[in-house]
Structure 1
Amino acid sequence: AEVLGPNGALLRDLVPELEALLGPLPEPALVGPGEARDRFRDTLERFVEALLDTDHHFVWFVDDVQWADPASLRLLSTLCLGPPRPVTLVLATRDEGLEAGHPLAAMLGELEQQGVALERLELGPLTQDDLAALVADVLDDGPESLALAQLLYRRTRGTPLYVAQLLMAFYAEGIIDIDRSRGQWRVDLARAHRRESSGDVVDFLIEQFAALPDHVRRLLGIAACIGASFDLETLAVAADRPVSEVGVLVWEAVGAGYLRPASTDQGTGLGGGATVSTHGPASEYGFVHDRLRQVALESSDQDQPKLYLTLASRLVDGDRLAAVRSGAGFQTLAGYIGRALALVEGVETRRRFAVVCIGAGHRAKEAAAYEQAAVHFRHALVLLDDASFAPGARFDLCLAMAESLAMTGADGTEQAYHQARALIREPVEHARLLASELMVAMVPGDTERALGLLMEAAARFDLDLRRGGSQEWIQAKMGAVLGQVAAVGLEAVSTRPVLRDPLQIILDRALLEATNAAYLAGDFNLYGALALTIVESGLRRGISDVCGVGFVELAIIFAVLGDYESARSYSKVGLEILGRFPDSPLVGMAKVIMGTTIHPWIEPMATCVPLL
């Protein structure tokens, strides 16, 4: 908890157990999309560092990376590019389809360019010797082991999944069984030779799936729709059957080699001494292999959109939604809603589903999973596409979707902002739009666009801001604002009332974002005018964390002008103001500014380091 600080909630979808360990996690502070990305990376790295014991070397294994979404690949990249750690990261992927344009191939190429040492190991099929050793181990080196291994190799050419499934089939059909009189495995090689099977692993899996009992096939089809892993309670909801009954059917699928337990809970004993939960937290299961899930999904006669609608409808009810909302299942639920979008009817149902999609979108956005966030926001817009819903809700969604799309570099950002502009009804919404566009423009450092948006805001809200303003203009502005400070009393500024006006809060944040654009563009008079405007807002309308940073930025100007006493006084006031907003992410920003641009002029160098 100490390591994660106020940002632990950013990892709740990634590590659902955090909330159980640390208790309720506070919602993270609202920041711009670029800051959200950096904050998530920093929080993740802190979490990883807290987990690692430097006395041991860890191996992290991630399977099926070819299916990873962009956010997951960025997460892996962040771990690889972080500081040296006692960790070996093993990524397993299929090689087919990994052409140069594949996201995984692109990520690996970027890591190599950054100097990350990559070692590629190509895993081919099992050799005859490998297979002989495997079968000998499985059959306790029985007399028919070598002959069976040779037969398996001819049939499967050493494909591991094919070998495992064919062995399971032989056992299920009695071709392999135990000779209890001799206490060893027995293989009916004649039957094994007669037993027909396709030479292709996928065809064989389809044949095997078709041979399962109807009730097991149906349950596996439903489970495959839910995902690669699932819990018994969710499966019972989807199948509309009691958990205890579903537990028995799931264990049949485990025995058939399709599923495996991902957790063990106290429950009712079933065959072989295994247990599945029939009460309390549901046991979790997963498909043994992604190809098995693929076969179950493609062979299923389920009406998938209807199944997802049923799942979503039942999971948004009462206690179930509260349980889902607290963990990674919230994103999954929003995914179910997205897959059932065309079937959702009724104003109240659409509203409730939209609330889930909006919540999942914001959670994904906070965790820098911008692609996923954009999808959830888009689905919410579809659900709210009706005159009965407030335009303000649609404006909020368009803005959130535009920011998410912008952070991915995907097409559609301008269209989303255009949609938001068309929905503006009041000045606060116009200010929010301009502030959002300005923040997004500064993520890649597009100062020209950012300053253009600033000028639009200045014209719309009657702000005296000019690009390339004259010395006379900035000196007059500085004299006026410093006169207001003197009238209030510099020592009394930090005790003034807090800013409450929503419009001014948004404008001040936009002006603060624009200071960076003005500085990078070399327009130092505009930079000064922005800081002065922020300070003037605090004097007239109430102080805020932004106002505190405004005083610190004025201190920079005083330091550059050689007025070190004023630099010291104004930076002190800035920190006093920020002291009234201890949870603001701007506190750290102000300290960095002071440690790098102000303190070196007015204090011993040793005092700079603690601020950084």
Structure 2
Amino acid sequence: MIGPQPEVKQLPPVESLNRFHDLFGRFLACLASEKNPLILFIDDLQWCDSASFDFLANVFTNHLEYPYLFFLGAYRHNEVGSSHPLAKLIRSATETRCPLKEIKLEPLQPEHCHEMVSYILDSPLEKTKALSDFICTLTDGNPLFVTESLSYLYNEDLLFLDVDRQWRWDLDKIHESCMPTTVVALFCAKIEKLAPDLITLLEYCACSGNTFSPVELALNMGITLRDTYEMIKPALSQGLLIESKNQLQFIHDKVQEAVLSMISAERRRQIHWRIGSRLLSAIPEDQIDLEKIDNLFTIVSHLNLGREKDLDNKKAYLLSDLNYHAGNKALASLATEAANDYFNLSLELLPSDCWEDSHYNQTFLIYKKAAKTELMCGNYQKSEKLLNYLLQNAKTDLDKAECLAEQTTTLSSIGNFIKAIETANRGLAYFGKSIPASSAEADQKRQELMVDIAAKNIDVWETILNMPFTTDRKSKIELAFYSELIPDLYLSGLVPQLYLAAALSTQHCLAGGMDESVIYSFSIMGLQLGEQEDFESAFRYEDLARELSAKYPNTFGATRGMNGIVWCNMHSRSHPREIVDYCLKSIQCGKNCGDLFNAGLSYGPLMWNLQVQGADLTTIEHYAKECLQFSKRYHLSFSVGLAEAMQAGWIEPMKKHYSPIAMEEKVKQWEQDNHIASAGSYYIHMALTHYYFGEYEKAEEYLVGARKYLSGLTDNVLKRQWHVFRVLNALKLL
């Protein structure tokens, strides 16, 4: 419809998930319009995977964006416990007052069961009452059970038409019969009367799932498609199977359950292995990329269910490899938990000689991915255990650094900055460039590096601006550490270490290791040089970061670079109005490329500079609400704090009839999470509020309280406001 599309750029885990939710959400909003409202119905919600529930949770959270969408979902409440993802989704939607209504369908009442039996038999209610009472008691008012009970009675000649074409039955004979007491048993009784070949075919159908392809069924059975349809006709005529859009499916999952209950565990295993093997053998020999195979999950699922307890090494490596590729495919589809299951099974299947040279590379990749997905699923200890085992067995320092780099990216993506810094430092140690924990030692190393950079006697800025991107593996791994480490150090308030990391990154770029991912480091170079009052060099680094961001637009590197500029550099020589404009560009850049975390961060200096500019309070409030809505939608806790701090510290106190907002617990949480900018913003803006209202003693309390956050604020506009109003307030107190 829209033609071939370019490959989707790979993003870190959380950003990738946010991009999908954003894109699919906008697509859904386009389909559901005022002129064309949309009803979306999903059946059997109890079987949805966690990725589907994540998306539904996102829809509920942002329900105001879908005013013309009517979502209907059906599920079996007896299969959904309190810990089920659906139960959690319903609780969350209810607690947040989302527009949700639950309608629970109870079993048929006796009178309704009577009406149903009377209608099916086309007989008066008084005539069918005794039979209806029996069936109602037997079925507990389950409509499917009612219809199948009548069908069973007919097939057993216990329900028949007389010469006048009226239904007749003998209730005493029915009571004396061995009538099944469950709907599954009823279906079993019906299936047992079928031909043996058809029962075998239904066994393959049941092992294939609720829905299956006739073509694949013929392949699995080793017969022609025509013979398949001929064989299946009785099952279609008796209402066990139905056709739907070139697919076959069981009329009800209870039919599938009935067939499965008739198969022994060993035979079921053999059927699964045969199905998986046949599907695998049908893959063209020239199909190199297994992850592009449409039915890869189906193949792997059958082989996993059909594998023997003790596989020989050849089969074990094959199945381990297939699970690895299925894990990659699931991860690319944002099904993190499913991917984690595949990677863990891939690990479990590896034979004892897996770390030998012939299998080393694949084993390394499997462990690396398993450590990543365990972390993404919140299993920190298991992830750390896998990572340490991987490091013990990795053959080269570069391999060890590579797996630590990927782990660092994942930790940063999920917001665990302290652990990300620790992991990055472990990785940089393999390059002899770890960042000292001591501030004094870090500053000493930074000074030595700055001298070394200055001694090169080259135009640093032009050299970097025109430097081609590196393709060297070692260089790219080192850059990966800097691209994550520098933002994490900034947000954690570790200033001496931040400045050292920026200098290391710059030195690495000058040695030929350039990449757009480290643009941010040049804004930090500008920041530290500005603090040393070397403004000429500081401005050149700021310009370098600007030019590189413009040269590589809509990339993670550009978003981080622009974000660094508005947080660290622009306020030294730009009007607040210019900073506001650049903040808006930075936010849009982040939204365009999927770096929503840094897009959210740019709202901070946007709101602060609007306040400095003296913008209308409604304008600041508008952006604070936008930031809050955007950040909550994508679970960006850091920028949620920036919006909340601005609302509580500046916007609300400036309104008439203001009632103080209790922020003690919130500030403690920010401190615990190392969200220094939010805590500092709240204290400094509260100080400004009290100053403007002439409450100088109160302003002094907040100015003093803000002091402990200053080191983490570096030289941004908040810190400068603190210095200015510290003096102004002191004069008022004289």
* 1:570 aligned onto 2:538: no
* AA of the residue aligned to 1:537: H
Helix, strand or coil: the match of 2:231? helix
Instruction: Check 1:363–1:246 CA distance in 2 against 1; reply closer, same or farther (3 A cut).
Output: same
Instruction: Check 1:66–1:232 CA distance in 2 against 1; reply closer, same or farther (3 A cut).
Output: same
**Which of 372, 397, 401 matches 2:366?**
397
CA distance in 1, matches of 2:411, 2:120: 61
Instruction: Check 1:110–1:577 CA distance in 2 against 1; reply closer, same or farther (3 A cut).
Output: same
Q: Which moved more, 1:318-327 or 1:118-127?
A: 318-327
Deviation of 1:225 (Å):
1.0
Q: How well do the aligned residues superpose, as a CA RMSD in angstroms?
A: 3.7
* 1:528 aligned onto 2:499: yes
Map 1:488-567; keep pairs closer than 5 Å: 488-555=459-526
CA distance in 1, matches of 2:567, 2:166: 76
Deviation of 1:129 (Å):
5.1
Q: Which moved more, 1:583-592 or 1:41-50?
A: 583-592
Give the match for residue 66 of structure 1: 46
Provide the identity percentage: 19
Q: Which has the higher relative contact order, 1 or 2, with Cα contacts under 8 A spaced 6 or more apart? A: 1
Give the match for residue 307 of structure 2: 341
**Which of 338, 357, 363 matches 2:329?**
363
Deviation of 1:598 (Å):
5.2
Deviation of 1:262 (Å):
2.8
Helix, strand or coil: the match of 1:390? helix
- Unaligned 5+ segments in structure 1 are 1-20, 264-282
Deviation of 1:187 (Å):
4.8
- When Rg is computed on C-alpha atoms for both structures, the one with the higher figure is 2
- Confirm or deny: 8 A CA contact 2:475 2:513 kept in the other structure: no
Map 1:50-65; keep pairs closer than 5 Å: 50-65=30-45
Give the match for residue 3 of structure 1: none
Instruction: Check 1:363–1:49 CA distance in 2 against 1; reply closer, same or farther (3 A cut).
Output: farther
* AA of the residue aligned to 1:53: S
- Confirm or deny: 8 A CA contact 2:14 2:414 kept in the other structure: no
* AA of the residue aligned to 2:374: L
Please report the TM-score for the alignment, with normalisation by the length of structure 2. 0.68
The one-character-per-residue Cα deviations of 1:169-198 (angstroms, maximum 9, x if unpaired) are 46667888999x99xxx5522268855533
Instruction: Check 1:289–1:559 CA distance in 2 against 1; reply closer, same or farther (3 A cut).
Output: farther
Structure holding more helix per residue: 2
Give the match for residue 189 of structure 1: 168
* 1:118 aligned onto 2:118: no
CA distance in 1, matches of 2:28, 2:274: 38
Map 1:578-593; keep pairs closer than 5 Å: 584-593=555-564
Instruction: Check 1:123–1:62 CA distance in 2 against 1; reply closer, same or farther (3 A cut).
Output: same
**Which of 338, 341, 344 matches 1:378?**
344
CA distance in 1, matches of 2:204, 2:160: 32
- Confirm or deny: 8 A CA contact 1:353 1:383 kept in the other structure: yes
**Which of 90, 96, 100 matches 2:82?**
100
Give the match for residue 584 of structure 2: 609
Give the match for residue 256 of structure 1: 238
Deviation of 1:393 (Å):
1.2
**Which of 215, 222, 227 matches 2:204?**
222
Give the match for residue 20 of structure 2: 40
Give the match for residue 438 of structure 1: 408
Deviation of 1:112 (Å):
3.0
Deviation of 1:399 (Å):
1.0
Q: Which moved more, 1:315-324 or 1:117-126?
A: 315-324
Helix, strand or coil: the match of 1:310? helix
* AA of the residue aligned to 1:252: P
* AA of the residue aligned to 2:325: G
- Confirm or deny: 8 A CA contact 2:158 2:173 kept in the other structure: no
CA distance in 2, matches of 1:454, 1:28: 27
**Which of 313, 316, 325 matches 2:280?**
316
- Confirm or deny: 8 A CA contact 1:438 1:450 kept in the other structure: yes
The one-character-per-residue Cα deviations of 1:437-475 (angstroms, maximum 9, x if unpaired) are 333443554443333323323433211622342385376
Count of aligned positions: 567
- Confirm or deny: 8 A CA contact 2:235 2:241 kept in the other structure: yes
Give the match for residue 295 of structure 1: 258
CA distance in 2, matches of 1:349, 1:23: 41
* AA of the residue aligned to 1:30: Q
* AA of the residue aligned to 1:120: E
- Unaligned 5+ segments in structure 2 are 588-734
Instruction: Check 1:448–1:527 CA distance in 2 against 1; reply closer, same or farther (3 A cut).
Output: same
Give the match for residue 87 of structure 1: 69
Give the match for residue 714 of structure 2: none
Deviation of 1:226 (Å):
1.2
Deviation of 1:58 (Å):
2.6
Instruction: Check 1:566–1:232 CA distance in 2 against 1; reply closer, same or farther (3 A cut).
Output: farther
The one-character-per-residue Cα deviations of 1:225-249 (angstroms, maximum 9, x if unpaired) are 1112111122222222222222233
